[in-house]
Structure 1
Amino acid sequence: MSGPVSVIELARAVPAEAVRWLRDLLVDVSAGFEEKRVGEYDLHVRAERLGVTGAGLLEGPRPILVSLMGPGFGDESTFEAEHADEADQERLIGFAPTHAVDVIAFCDSEVDHAVTALLTAAVMDVIGGVANAELRADQVPIVVSLPGVLATTADPGAVAYGSAEFLRAWVGAPGFRLLT
Protein backbone atom coordinates (compact mmCIF):
# COMPACT_ATOMS: atom_id res chain seq x y z
CA MET A 1 0.00 0.00 0.00
CA SER A 2 1.66 3.15 -1.12
CA GLY A 3 -0.96 5.82 -0.53
CA PRO A 4 -2.38 7.87 2.31
CA VAL A 5 -4.31 6.37 5.20
CA SER A 6 -6.89 7.87 7.52
CA VAL A 7 -8.63 6.34 10.53
CA ILE A 8 -12.01 6.88 12.14
CA GLU A 9 -12.13 5.99 15.84
CA LEU A 10 -15.45 4.60 17.06
CA ALA A 11 -16.82 4.32 20.61
CA ARG A 12 -18.91 1.24 19.79
CA ALA A 13 -19.77 -1.20 17.03
CA VAL A 14 -21.53 0.22 13.99
CA PRO A 15 -25.20 -0.87 13.92
CA ALA A 16 -26.29 -3.03 10.96
CA GLU A 17 -28.48 -0.24 9.58
CA ALA A 18 -25.55 2.19 9.55
CA VAL A 19 -23.40 -0.44 7.80
CA ARG A 20 -26.07 -0.59 5.06
CA TRP A 21 -26.01 3.23 4.77
CA LEU A 22 -22.20 3.09 4.57
CA ARG A 23 -22.40 0.50 1.80
CA ASP A 24 -24.90 2.68 -0.11
CA LEU A 25 -22.57 5.70 0.19
CA LEU A 26 -19.59 3.72 -1.07
CA VAL A 27 -21.52 2.31 -4.02
CA ASP A 28 -22.66 5.84 -4.88
CA VAL A 29 -19.13 7.33 -5.00
CA SER A 30 -17.54 4.38 -6.79
CA ALA A 31 -17.07 3.35 -10.38
CA GLY A 32 -16.22 -0.12 -9.09
CA PHE A 33 -17.24 -1.74 -5.80
CA GLU A 34 -16.46 -5.11 -4.22
CA GLU A 35 -17.63 -6.17 -0.77
CA LYS A 36 -14.97 -8.52 0.56
CA ARG A 37 -16.89 -9.04 3.81
CA VAL A 38 -19.45 -6.97 5.67
CA GLY A 39 -17.52 -3.82 6.54
CA GLU A 40 -14.64 -4.27 4.08
CA TYR A 41 -14.87 -2.75 0.63
CA ASP A 42 -12.56 -2.43 -2.38
CA LEU A 43 -13.50 0.72 -4.27
CA HIS A 44 -12.62 2.68 -7.36
CA VAL A 45 -13.71 6.11 -6.16
CA ARG A 46 -14.80 8.77 -8.61
CA ALA A 47 -13.04 11.82 -7.14
CA GLU A 48 -15.53 14.27 -8.62
CA ARG A 49 -18.32 12.59 -6.59
CA LEU A 50 -16.55 13.87 -3.47
CA GLY A 51 -16.05 17.36 -4.90
CA VAL A 52 -12.41 16.88 -5.91
CA THR A 53 -11.45 18.81 -9.02
CA GLY A 54 -8.20 19.30 -10.91
CA ALA A 55 -5.84 17.75 -13.39
CA GLY A 56 -5.38 14.58 -11.35
CA LEU A 57 -8.89 13.52 -12.29
CA LEU A 58 -7.49 12.42 -15.64
CA GLU A 59 -5.94 9.51 -13.75
CA GLY A 60 -9.39 7.91 -13.45
CA PRO A 61 -11.15 6.36 -10.46
CA ARG A 62 -8.94 6.01 -7.37
CA PRO A 63 -8.37 2.60 -5.75
CA ILE A 64 -9.32 2.72 -2.06
CA LEU A 65 -9.92 0.13 0.65
CA VAL A 66 -12.44 0.92 3.40
CA SER A 67 -12.23 -1.50 6.31
CA LEU A 68 -14.38 -1.56 9.45
CA MET A 69 -12.45 -3.28 12.25
CA GLY A 70 -13.14 -4.53 15.72
CA PRO A 71 -15.12 -7.22 17.52
CA GLY A 72 -17.88 -8.60 15.34
CA PHE A 73 -16.49 -7.19 12.09
CA GLY A 74 -13.07 -8.75 11.65
CA ASP A 75 -9.49 -7.55 11.65
CA GLU A 76 -9.55 -7.53 15.46
CA SER A 77 -5.81 -8.20 15.61
CA THR A 78 -5.13 -5.31 13.20
CA PHE A 79 -7.31 -3.03 15.33
CA GLU A 80 -5.44 -4.06 18.48
CA ALA A 81 -2.03 -3.62 16.84
CA GLU A 82 -2.91 -0.18 15.48
CA HIS A 83 -4.09 0.99 18.90
CA ALA A 84 -1.31 -0.57 21.01
CA ASP A 85 0.96 2.47 20.81
CA GLU A 86 -1.72 5.19 20.81
CA ALA A 87 -1.80 8.03 23.30
CA ASP A 88 -4.53 7.98 25.98
CA GLN A 89 -7.37 8.43 23.51
CA GLU A 90 -10.04 8.48 26.19
CA ARG A 91 -8.43 11.58 27.67
CA LEU A 92 -8.11 13.20 24.25
CA ILE A 93 -11.43 12.35 22.59
CA GLY A 94 -13.66 11.26 25.45
CA PHE A 95 -13.74 7.53 24.79
CA ALA A 96 -11.51 4.51 24.34
CA PRO A 97 -12.13 3.22 20.80
CA THR A 98 -13.63 -0.23 20.49
CA HIS A 99 -13.83 -0.18 16.67
CA ALA A 100 -12.27 1.78 13.83
CA VAL A 101 -12.54 2.34 10.10
CA ASP A 102 -9.39 2.52 7.98
CA VAL A 103 -9.57 4.37 4.67
CA ILE A 104 -6.52 3.36 2.63
CA ALA A 105 -5.54 4.68 -0.79
CA PHE A 106 -3.42 2.54 -3.09
CA CYS A 107 -1.91 5.50 -4.97
CA ASP A 108 -0.12 8.59 -3.69
CA SER A 109 -1.00 11.52 -5.94
CA GLU A 110 -2.41 14.82 -4.69
CA VAL A 111 -5.86 13.62 -5.78
CA ASP A 112 -5.50 10.46 -3.66
CA HIS A 113 -4.81 12.52 -0.54
CA ALA A 114 -7.90 14.69 -1.12
CA VAL A 115 -10.09 11.70 -1.98
CA THR A 116 -8.97 9.81 1.13
CA ALA A 117 -9.70 12.72 3.47
CA LEU A 118 -13.03 13.60 1.85
CA LEU A 119 -14.17 9.99 1.70
CA THR A 120 -13.28 9.66 5.39
CA ALA A 121 -15.41 12.74 6.14
CA ALA A 122 -18.32 11.31 4.13
CA VAL A 123 -18.05 7.99 6.00
CA MET A 124 -18.09 9.92 9.29
CA ASP A 125 -21.27 11.68 8.18
CA VAL A 126 -22.89 8.24 7.95
CA ILE A 127 -21.45 6.33 10.93
CA GLY A 128 -20.02 9.03 13.22
CA GLY A 129 -16.70 8.73 15.00
CA VAL A 130 -13.60 10.86 15.34
CA ALA A 131 -10.91 11.23 12.68
CA ASN A 132 -7.42 10.25 13.78
CA ALA A 133 -4.99 12.01 11.43
CA GLU A 134 -1.27 11.50 11.81
CA LEU A 135 0.69 14.66 11.03
CA ARG A 136 4.14 15.85 10.10
CA ALA A 137 5.54 18.25 12.70
CA ASP A 138 5.28 21.20 10.27
CA GLN A 139 1.53 20.56 9.82
CA VAL A 140 0.64 20.96 13.50
CA PRO A 141 0.54 24.80 13.51
CA ILE A 142 -1.77 24.74 10.47
CA VAL A 143 -4.10 22.05 11.80
CA VAL A 144 -4.62 23.39 15.35
CA SER A 145 -6.45 26.45 14.03
CA LEU A 146 -8.88 24.54 11.79
CA PRO A 147 -12.54 24.14 12.71
CA GLY A 148 -13.56 20.78 14.11
CA VAL A 149 -10.24 19.91 15.76
CA LEU A 150 -10.98 18.16 19.04
CA ALA A 151 -7.44 17.49 20.27
CA THR A 152 -3.84 17.20 19.18
CA THR A 153 -0.96 15.29 20.69
CA ALA A 154 2.73 14.97 19.96
CA ASP A 155 3.34 11.69 21.77
CA PRO A 156 4.10 9.13 20.45
CA GLY A 157 3.82 11.15 17.18
CA ALA A 158 1.93 14.21 16.00
CA VAL A 159 -1.78 13.42 15.67
CA ALA A 160 -4.91 15.53 15.30
CA TYR A 161 -8.32 14.25 16.29
CA GLY A 162 -11.33 15.90 14.74
CA SER A 163 -14.69 15.92 13.06
CA ALA A 164 -15.67 15.56 9.42
CA GLU A 165 -15.65 19.38 9.33
CA PHE A 166 -11.96 19.29 10.32
CA LEU A 167 -11.08 16.94 7.45
CA ARG A 168 -12.93 19.08 4.91
CA ALA A 169 -11.23 22.24 6.17
CA TRP A 170 -7.82 20.58 6.17
CA VAL A 171 -8.12 19.52 2.52
CA GLY A 172 -8.41 23.21 1.61
CA ALA A 173 -5.58 24.37 3.89
CA PRO A 174 -2.04 25.16 2.72
CA GLY A 175 0.32 22.25 3.32
CA PHE A 176 -2.43 19.62 3.29
CA ARG A 177 -1.17 16.10 2.84
CA LEU A 178 -2.03 12.93 4.72
CA LEU A 179 0.74 10.66 5.87
CA THR A 180 1.39 7.50 3.90
Structure 2
Amino acid sequence: MSGPVLTIELAEAVPPAVLQRLRAFLIRSSAHFEEQRPGEFDLSVYAPKLGITDTGGVDGRRPVMVSLTGPGTGDEATFEAEHAESGDQESLIGFTPTHSVDVIAFCGSRVDHVVTALLTAAVMDLTGGVAHAELGEDQVPTLVGLPGIIAVTTDPWPSAYGSAEFLRAWTGRPGFRLLK
Protein backbone atom coordinates (compact mmCIF):
# COMPACT_ATOMS: atom_id res chain seq x y z
CA MET A 1 0.00 0.00 0.00
CA SER A 2 1.36 3.42 -0.86
CA GLY A 3 0.97 6.32 1.50
CA PRO A 4 0.83 10.09 1.52
CA VAL A 5 3.35 12.44 -0.07
CA LEU A 6 4.32 16.03 0.76
CA THR A 7 6.72 18.25 -1.14
CA ILE A 8 8.93 21.02 0.17
CA GLU A 9 9.45 23.64 -2.53
CA LEU A 10 12.91 25.24 -2.41
CA ALA A 11 14.29 28.40 -4.02
CA GLU A 12 17.77 26.89 -4.31
CA ALA A 13 19.71 23.67 -3.89
CA VAL A 14 20.30 22.41 -0.35
CA PRO A 15 23.83 23.46 0.68
CA PRO A 16 26.23 20.62 1.68
CA ALA A 17 26.32 21.72 5.34
CA VAL A 18 22.51 21.64 5.54
CA LEU A 19 22.45 18.24 3.81
CA GLN A 20 24.86 16.97 6.48
CA ARG A 21 22.59 18.27 9.29
CA LEU A 22 19.57 16.68 7.55
CA ARG A 23 21.40 13.36 7.28
CA ALA A 24 22.32 13.48 11.00
CA PHE A 25 18.72 14.30 11.99
CA LEU A 26 17.33 11.44 9.88
CA ILE A 27 19.82 8.98 11.37
CA ARG A 28 18.77 10.01 14.91
CA SER A 29 15.07 9.72 14.02
CA SER A 30 15.19 6.34 12.32
CA ALA A 31 15.42 2.70 13.26
CA HIS A 32 16.70 2.04 9.71
CA PHE A 33 18.66 4.48 7.56
CA GLU A 34 20.05 3.95 4.08
CA GLU A 35 21.29 6.69 1.78
CA GLN A 36 20.63 5.44 -1.74
CA ARG A 37 22.34 8.46 -3.34
CA PRO A 38 23.36 11.78 -1.81
CA GLY A 39 20.07 13.31 -0.68
CA GLU A 40 17.87 10.23 -1.11
CA PHE A 41 17.14 8.47 2.15
CA ASP A 42 15.28 5.19 2.73
CA LEU A 43 14.13 5.27 6.34
CA SER A 44 12.21 3.51 9.01
CA VAL A 45 11.23 6.59 11.01
CA TYR A 46 10.56 5.98 14.66
CA ALA A 47 7.26 7.86 15.27
CA PRO A 48 7.95 8.66 18.96
CA LYS A 49 11.11 10.56 17.88
CA LEU A 50 8.70 12.99 16.15
CA GLY A 51 6.60 13.29 19.32
CA ILE A 52 3.92 10.83 18.17
CA THR A 53 2.76 8.68 21.06
CA ASP A 54 -0.48 7.31 19.58
CA THR A 55 0.56 4.98 16.78
CA GLY A 56 -2.93 3.50 16.43
CA GLY A 57 -1.73 0.02 17.23
CA VAL A 58 0.78 -0.09 14.36
CA ASP A 59 4.51 -0.44 14.76
CA GLY A 60 6.11 2.89 15.71
CA ARG A 61 8.69 2.38 12.96
CA ARG A 62 7.23 3.74 9.72
CA PRO A 63 8.76 3.27 6.24
CA VAL A 64 9.43 6.62 4.53
CA MET A 65 11.60 8.00 1.75
CA VAL A 66 13.02 11.53 1.83
CA SER A 67 14.34 12.57 -1.57
CA LEU A 68 15.96 15.81 -2.70
CA THR A 69 15.29 16.54 -6.36
CA GLY A 70 16.35 19.14 -8.88
CA PRO A 71 19.23 20.14 -11.13
CA GLY A 72 22.58 18.91 -9.86
CA THR A 73 20.94 17.22 -6.88
CA GLY A 74 19.56 14.10 -8.48
CA ASP A 75 16.29 12.84 -9.86
CA GLU A 76 16.00 15.85 -12.17
CA ALA A 77 13.37 14.07 -14.29
CA THR A 78 11.12 13.64 -11.24
CA PHE A 79 11.49 17.32 -10.36
CA GLU A 80 10.63 18.39 -13.92
CA ALA A 81 7.62 16.05 -14.09
CA GLU A 82 6.26 17.18 -10.71
CA HIS A 83 6.53 20.85 -11.63
CA ALA A 84 5.44 20.70 -15.28
CA GLU A 85 1.77 21.26 -14.44
CA SER A 86 2.12 23.27 -11.23
CA GLY A 87 1.36 26.61 -12.86
CA ASP A 88 2.80 29.88 -11.61
CA GLN A 89 4.04 29.03 -8.14
CA GLU A 90 5.93 32.33 -7.83
CA SER A 91 2.66 34.26 -7.56
CA LEU A 92 1.56 31.92 -4.76
CA ILE A 93 4.74 31.44 -2.70
CA GLY A 94 7.03 34.26 -3.80
CA PHE A 95 9.55 32.22 -5.80
CA THR A 96 9.80 29.68 -8.59
CA PRO A 97 11.06 26.40 -7.11
CA THR A 98 14.42 25.22 -8.42
CA HIS A 99 14.63 22.17 -6.15
CA SER A 100 12.38 20.21 -3.84
CA VAL A 101 12.32 17.60 -1.11
CA ASP A 102 9.72 14.84 -1.40
CA VAL A 103 8.62 13.06 1.77
CA ILE A 104 6.95 9.80 0.77
CA ALA A 105 5.32 7.33 3.16
CA PHE A 106 5.09 3.70 2.07
CA CYS A 107 2.03 2.90 4.22
CA GLY A 108 -1.28 4.69 4.60
CA SER A 109 -2.47 4.28 8.19
CA ARG A 110 -3.43 7.37 10.19
CA VAL A 111 -0.02 7.41 11.88
CA ASP A 112 1.70 7.41 8.47
CA HIS A 113 -0.14 10.61 7.56
CA VAL A 114 0.93 12.25 10.82
CA VAL A 115 4.52 10.96 10.47
CA THR A 116 4.69 12.35 6.92
CA ALA A 117 3.48 15.80 8.00
CA LEU A 118 5.64 16.04 11.12
CA LEU A 119 8.72 14.66 9.38
CA THR A 120 8.20 17.19 6.58
CA ALA A 121 7.95 19.99 9.17
CA ALA A 122 11.16 18.81 10.85
CA VAL A 123 12.96 18.66 7.49
CA MET A 124 11.72 22.20 6.75
CA ASP A 125 13.23 23.36 10.04
CA LEU A 126 16.59 22.42 8.49
CA THR A 127 16.14 23.17 4.78
CA GLY A 128 13.63 26.01 4.79
CA GLY A 129 11.19 26.12 1.91
CA VAL A 130 7.44 25.93 1.59
CA ALA A 131 5.35 22.78 2.07
CA HIS A 132 3.08 21.87 -0.84
CA ALA A 133 0.15 19.60 -0.05
CA GLU A 134 -2.33 18.43 -2.66
CA LEU A 135 -5.85 18.41 -1.27
CA GLY A 136 -9.24 16.88 -1.88
CA GLU A 137 -12.02 19.38 -2.66
CA ASP A 138 -13.57 18.74 0.77
CA GLN A 139 -10.31 19.55 2.58
CA VAL A 140 -10.02 23.19 1.49
CA PRO A 141 -12.51 24.51 4.10
CA THR A 142 -10.79 22.56 6.92
CA LEU A 143 -7.66 24.70 6.53
CA VAL A 144 -9.34 28.01 7.32
CA GLY A 145 -7.70 29.74 10.26
CA LEU A 146 -4.62 27.55 10.46
CA PRO A 147 -1.40 29.44 11.17
CA GLY A 148 1.37 29.39 8.59
CA ILE A 149 -0.80 29.08 5.49
CA ILE A 150 0.83 30.93 2.62
CA ALA A 151 -1.66 30.12 -0.16
CA VAL A 152 -4.55 27.83 -1.02
CA THR A 153 -5.46 27.30 -4.65
CA THR A 154 -7.88 25.17 -6.65
CA ASP A 155 -6.12 25.62 -10.01
CA PRO A 156 -4.90 23.35 -11.53
CA TRP A 157 -6.03 21.22 -8.53
CA PRO A 158 -6.72 21.92 -4.85
CA SER A 159 -3.43 22.59 -3.04
CA ALA A 160 -2.17 24.31 0.08
CA TYR A 161 1.21 25.93 0.59
CA GLY A 162 2.50 26.64 4.06
CA SER A 163 5.17 26.66 6.70
CA ALA A 164 6.29 23.97 9.12
CA GLU A 165 3.96 25.65 11.64
CA PHE A 166 1.06 25.05 9.24
CA LEU A 167 1.84 21.33 8.99
CA ARG A 168 2.10 20.94 12.76
CA ALA A 169 -1.19 22.79 13.32
CA TRP A 170 -2.96 20.81 10.60
CA THR A 171 -2.04 17.46 12.20
CA GLY A 172 -3.91 18.61 15.32
CA ARG A 173 -7.19 19.08 13.46
CA PRO A 174 -9.83 16.38 13.88
CA GLY A 175 -9.90 14.06 10.89
CA PHE A 176 -6.46 15.19 9.65
CA ARG A 177 -5.46 13.22 6.58
CA LEU A 178 -3.18 13.97 3.67
CA LEU A 179 -4.22 13.24 0.13
CA LYS A 180 -2.34 10.27 -1.24
Question: 2:139 is matched by which residue type in structure 1?
Answer: Q
Q: Distance in 1 between matches of 2:118 and 2:55?
A: 17
Equivalent residue of 1:52, what SS? coil
Q: Distance in 1 between matches of 2:12 and 2:109?
A: 33
Contact in 1 for aligned 2:30/2:46 (Cα 8 Å)? yes
CA RMSD of aligned residues (A): 1.0
Corresponding residue number in structure 2 for 1:31: 31
Question: 1:7 is matched by which residue type in structure 2?
Answer: T
Contact in 1 for aligned 2:47/2:55 (Cα 8 Å)? no
Contact in 1 for aligned 2:68/2:100 (Cα 8 Å)? yes
| Aligned pairs for 1:52-71 within 5 A | 52-56=52-56, 58-71=58-71
Q: Normalising by structure 2, what TM-score?
A: 0.97
Corresponding residue number in structure 1 for 2:149: 149
| Aligned pairs for 1:68-87 within 5 A | 68-87=68-87
Offset, 1:24? 0.7
| Aligned pairs for 1:90-109 within 5 A | 90-109=90-109
Contact in 2 for aligned 1:57/1:111 (Cα 8 Å)? no
Offset, 1:53? 1.8
Corresponding residue number in structure 1 for 2:176: 176
Corresponding residue number in structure 2 for 1:167: 167
Q: Normalising by structure 1, what TM-score?
A: 0.97
Gapped regions of structure 1 (runs ≥ 5): none
Gapped regions of structure 2 (runs ≥ 5): none
Equivalent residue of 2:56, what SS? helix
Higher deviation after alignment, 66-75 or 136-145: 136-145
Aligned pairs, number: 180
Q: Percent identity?
A: 66
Corresponding residue number in structure 1 for 2:123: 123
Question: 2:75 is matched by which residue type in structure 1?
Answer: D
Higher deviation after alignment, 55-64 or 87-96: 55-64
